[in-house]
Structure 1
């Protein structure tokens, strides 16, 4: 009983994060910002998932760098 009530109270005060609804490939972001994709890639190397920078894998490819909306904002601040 005590364990169940302790777990219930811990969950009620937990952190709530918004779900990621979409990501944008580095090529798309480069086109949107009017920047060179390879140049943006150099900056993305130092970014992490918590910065909104992800690596997306598909069938038959090595993966591509992608950004959340927050990641695009972070990238814009870096290149400003």
Structure 2
């Protein structure tokens, strides 16, 4: 049985959220919550999530949308 991960870019697209704002929210998710960093050639890395990590991220999105003062929302210039 395989193990699937979804990148933050895809999660943002799937949820209809701004990726930069979602990165701020995702900073609270630890590896035990289903978030990991995947590194390739060079120093570039991408944050990715297990299905459980996506569920946790959705919970955090709801919290921050209900209480925006908890996290300064990223605003495009």
TM-score (norm 2): 0.74
Aligned residues: 62
Q: Which has the higher contact order (CA 8 A, sep 6+)?
A: 2
Residue in structure 2 matched with residue 29 of structure 1 by the alignment: 11
1:5 paired residue number: none
Distance 1:75 1:20 in 2: 22
* Alpha-carbon contact 1:20-1:68 (below 8 Å) kept: no
RMSD (CA atoms): 1.5
Mapped to 1, the partners of 2:9 and 2:51 lie a distance apart of 14
Whole-Å Cα distance in 1 between the matches of residues 57 and 10 of structure 2?
A: 13
Provide runs of 4+ in structure 1 moved above 2 Å. none
Name structure 2 gaps, 5 residues minimum.
Answer: 63-77
Report the Cα distance in structure 1 between the residues aligned to 2:2 and 2:60, rounded to whole angstroms: 22
Q: Helix, strand or coil for the counterpart of 2:47?
A: strand
- Highest Rg: 1 or 2? 1
Show the counterpart of 1:10: none
